[in-house]
Structure 1
Amino acid sequence: MSRRTRIGALFNYDWDALGLARLTGQHEFDEAGFDLFSFPSNARLLGFDLRRFADAQAARGRRRGWAGVVSQHEQFGALAAALVAEKLGLPGTAPTAVLAAQHKLHARRVLDQVCPEANLPFAALDCAYGADVPHDLSYPLYVKPVKAAFSVLAREVRNRDELQAHTRFGRRELWVIRRLVEPFDRVGRERLPEGGTAHRMMLEAPVQAPQFNLDGWVFQGRAHALGVVDAIMYPHTQAFMRWEHPSRLAAQVQARALEVAQKFLAAIGFTHGLFNMEFFFDPVTDRLTVIEFNPRLASQFADLYRRVRGIDPHAMAIALALGQDPAALPATRPSAGIAASLVYRAFTPDGVPRMPDARARAALLAAFPDALLFVMPKSGHSLARDFKWLGSHRYGIVHLEARDAAQLRRRTLRASEILGWPAPYADPPDRPSTAPAPVVATTSAAAAMPPQRAGHPILQAPITGDSP
């Protein structure tokens, strides 16, 4: 019997825990990290230092004989794995490439140099958290953190009052924000000083067009496409309702997306690893616009690729960590023609339904043995923070597969009925009248015209690497 390969698995939770669990027959995983979304695990944010963590894991890897190290965790894991691989001389993504992709303002600057036709107008928000925002901005604008994950604090604002309210935080919120950003910023100050501080927000021109995700990998400097996943939004919101694979996007547009990814990734020195590129495509104007790059696998989609393509992205991540070409991995027989990640949300606190009890969960699995269910109940400050930072509360996710789109809809309606949750094919509850104007997921010829760079009002704000 062959000996299992020992791999370091950092911040290995949720989708990644499921993905790596399937590979324990070939590999043995040494885990480290903590769950940002559960107490008391997330109490480790207090005093967390990414460099010290990486040093400790590198020392552990030497003792334990790690052959590779992996993480698909956006906030800390991807950068930690890159630092550990560098220290141990193992295959991995260059830490500077991870920093360059995750620093959203720096990434926009790079994209502007190598592929400006896929970029959009952008600028740093030239003020500290909670300070008065500039008066000379033109609205609407899209505001988001320079470093964040899961669309936290990213939203469209219609006027200065909304922007001011969105960037004013209480003491508890500031505590969380600073401790989420500082570990990244500390490494960035040493390894990517030209990026400037990540402790700030940035502005972008809003885009009204359908949204997609290109997933892929880079091996020996060449980018390859794993596939494209379509985003379907809750109507008249910025909130994801479903993710579906395979994509309905034309093959030639998918090829264009890969070309953009190759240019950007080469420019930041990303020569090895999995990546995810979020982008808009407007079929009216034929314009493809990058939203952002993520220097790791979009783990939520890995299960969709397994069901529809017979490809295991987590196995691909291990192959890359071992210096192997993931294209050589064998595929399995697909189990479905279409698969979806169904996102259940509430848009008001009183719209949060009850979580399914043991009987409902058992009934779901009896009716749909292929289903994956995640429940994410929150209350108190955590729930209030969701509504402020995200504009909604994501309380559950279900994965289902089907022969075709019609069967997928029928199965989703039935599964939602069993759980007692509104199906993610219908309009959400009424939003509060104070809610900001949403980004619409559909396009019109007028609204979807590509933004013009010259003279756009937000470009009047200085774009510098200085601290606000």
Structure 2
Amino acid sequence: MTQRNIFVVGLNEFNRQRLQQLRGASEYRFHGVIDPAEVYDTEVFPIEDMVRRADDTLKAFGEPIDAIIGYMDFPVSTMLPILCNRFGTRTTSLESLLRCEHKYWSRLTQREVIGNYIPRFTAFDPFDEQALSKIGEAGLYFPFFVKPIKSSGSRLGFRIDSPEDFQLATTRLREDIGLISEPFNYVLEQASLPEEVRAVDGGYCMAEEIIGGWQCTVEGYVFEGEVVSYGIVDSIRYPQVLSFFYYRYPSLLPEAIQARMLDLTQTVMAHIGYDNAAFNIEFFWDEVQNRVWLLEINTRISQSHCDLFAKVDGVSHQQVTVDLALGQRPDMPHREGDFAVAAKFFYRVFFVDATVTRVPSEREIETLQQDFPGTYIALQVEAGQRLSALPEQDSYSFALAYVWMGADTAEALENNYAQLAERLTFEFTDIIG
């Protein structure tokens, strides 16, 4: 049987190994397009040049191209519809993707069908000296949250409690927003946009009413118009801060709340017209008011959740991405993994800045992984590195390591991580607290 050729934007060796464990993988050949260093651990996205070079690579391939996939946020997610359209492979349209990824357009679209489940919002220009007063005129008052129209991870997101907070946030936004706004505007130029959306380009930001509660992510896909959700992952934050502590699968939310989130997912994704691609939607459940909020829609699987699905269900949910790109209904197993519950933990420090002088050795990492079966530890820093130089960090902390673990119960999972974390030894100098 002839193997099918699947091109992966930003394919690295770690994910090649994951992909080769998928169902049907013996029938596929995975090829990288665009060096992974250009899409991992970087804040510079020359997307026009990346699309051109990817186009050249694909045109030079002498065999059929059966699928072009990715499983990362910007710029990979927005490159896929452009490349797939050029080479006749399957994914959702660029416009339907942008109705999810352009945060203002997404909120306008959500408001049309699930207006009671989204916060009040308005767009603003961070370079406008009157921006704060215009936000007030739109009915938003302290506290509120600001973030770019398009961002990557949790970068440049700020809680605003005072005019001083807003001044500090807009200073940062003015300095750094161009890193994503310029390449995102290139993507917007490729799409057919309503005038009210085209006027709010990548240089704009969103101000939104503060929402919160128990946070989770619905992972799903649309196959030939059918919206399917296959798992809910809890997102647990460190106490009193916005930084994530760990992601846990499966969710421990009440069944009725999970059902409500699945209904909202069905409604909004069908309305958007998203099709033949994976997505995930982040929600909050406000336990006090028993109210569900939709936070945002992402046009991809969450790469952070790959190992969680493999541990609990038996295969990474990259299975969904590959199957959809090949035009087949995803062959995703359920509860066939080695563990009842799994998590990705973020080992963090809450410094303003510091220089790393010591990280755990390879032998220390191997010992910990052996002592806690099923565990994988990925260091994110090196000795000599300045924390402020790390890409893709939130505004309040630095992630030094990612730790994936599985267990029989949620309680055992937390206990195991606590024991492991005590043995992860990092050292620093020049600490700014």
Counterpart of 2:132 in structure 1 is 134
List gaps (5 residues or longer) in structure 1.
423-430, 433-468
Amino acid at match of 1:191: A
Residues 1:181 and 2:200 are matched in the alignment: no
Question: C-alpha separation between the residues in 2 aligned to 1:91 and 1:170?
Answer: 36
Amino acid at match of 1:31: G
Aligned partner of 2:243 among 218, 239, 258: 239
C-alpha change, 1:160 and 1:245, in structure 2 (3 Å) is same
Tell whether the 8 Å contact from 1:216 to 1:274 is kept in structure 2 after alignment: yes
Matches within 5 A, 1:362-377: 362-377=366-381
RMSD in angstroms over aligned alpha carbons? 2.9
Question: C-alpha separation between the residues in 2 aligned to 1:398 and 1:298?
Answer: 16
Deviation at 1:21, TM superposition (A): 4.1
Question: C-alpha separation between the residues in 2 aligned to 1:111 and 1:369?
Answer: 43
Amino acid at match of 1:178: G
C-alpha change, 1:374 and 1:230, in structure 2 (3 Å) is same
Matches within 5 A, 1:314-325: 314-325=318-329
C-alpha change, 1:14 and 1:390, in structure 2 (3 Å) is farther
Deviation at 1:198, TM superposition (A): 1.4
Percent identical = 24
Deviation at 1:288, TM superposition (A): 0.9
Matches within 5 A, 1:5-404: 5-13=4-12, 16-23=15-22, 25-34=26-35, 35-36=37-38, 42=42, 45=45, 48-49=48-49, 51-53=51-53, 55-60=55-60, 63-128=62-127, 133-135=131-133, 137=136, 138-169=141-172, 173-174=175-176, 177-194=177-194, 195-196=197-198, 197-326=201-330, 328-329=331-332, 333-348=336-351, 349-350=353-354, 354-377=358-381, 379-380=385-386, 382-383=388-389, 390-404=395-409
Question: Matched residue of 2:364: which SS?
Answer: helix
The C-alpha deviation readout for 1:313-332, integer Å capped at 9, x for no partner, is 11221111100001x45568
C-alpha change, 1:145 and 1:60, in structure 2 (3 Å) is farther
TM norm structure 1: 0.81
Counterpart of 1:3 in structure 2 is 2
Deviation at 1:53, TM superposition (A): 4.4
Tell whether the 8 Å contact from 2:145 to 2:210 is kept in structure 1 after alignment: yes
Residues 1:414 and 2:419 are matched in the alignment: yes
Question: Matched residue of 2:216: which SS?
Answer: strand
Deviation at 1:337, TM superposition (A): 1.1
Amino acid at match of 2:59: A
C-alpha change, 1:65 and 1:357, in structure 2 (3 Å) is same
Tell whether the 8 Å contact from 2:347 to 2:421 is kept in structure 1 after alignment: no
Deviation at 1:179, TM superposition (A): 3.6
C-alpha change, 1:37 and 1:363, in structure 2 (3 Å) is farther
Question: C-alpha separation between the residues in 2 aligned to 1:75 and 1:248?
Answer: 30
Deviation at 1:371, TM superposition (A): 1.1
Using CA pairs under 8 Å that are at least 6 residues apart, name the structure with larger relative contact order, 1 or 2: 1
Tell whether the 8 Å contact from 2:68 to 2:80 is kept in structure 1 after alignment: yes
Deviation at 1:413, TM superposition (A): 2.0
Question: C-alpha separation between the residues in 2 aligned to 1:45 and 1:148?
Answer: 12
Tell whether the 8 Å contact from 1:58 to 1:84 is kept in structure 2 after alignment: no
Higher-strand-fraction structure: 2
C-alpha change, 1:156 and 1:119, in structure 2 (3 Å) is same
Amino acid at match of 1:149: S
Tell whether the 8 Å contact from 1:346 to 1:352 is kept in structure 2 after alignment: no
Question: C-alpha separation between the residues in 2 aligned to 1:267 and 1:82?
Answer: 19
C-alpha change, 1:208 and 1:312, in structure 2 (3 Å) is closer
Question: C-alpha separation between the residues in 1 aligned to 2:209 and 2:267?
Answer: 22
Matches within 5 A, 1:423-434: none
Tell whether the 8 Å contact from 2:278 to 2:301 is kept in structure 1 after alignment: yes
Question: C-alpha separation between the residues in 1 aligned to 2:185 and 2:142?
Answer: 29
Question: C-alpha separation between the residues in 2 aligned to 1:350 and 1:253?
Answer: 42
Question: C-alpha separation between the residues in 2 aligned to 1:334 and 1:290?
Answer: 30
Question: Matched residue of 1:270: which SS?
Answer: coil
TM norm structure 2: 0.87
Question: C-alpha separation between the residues in 2 aligned to 1:369 and 1:203?
Answer: 44
Tell whether the 8 Å contact from 1:155 to 1:238 is kept in structure 2 after alignment: no
C-alpha change, 1:336 and 1:43, in structure 2 (3 Å) is closer
C-alpha change, 1:66 and 1:331, in structure 2 (3 Å) is farther
Amino acid at match of 1:159: S
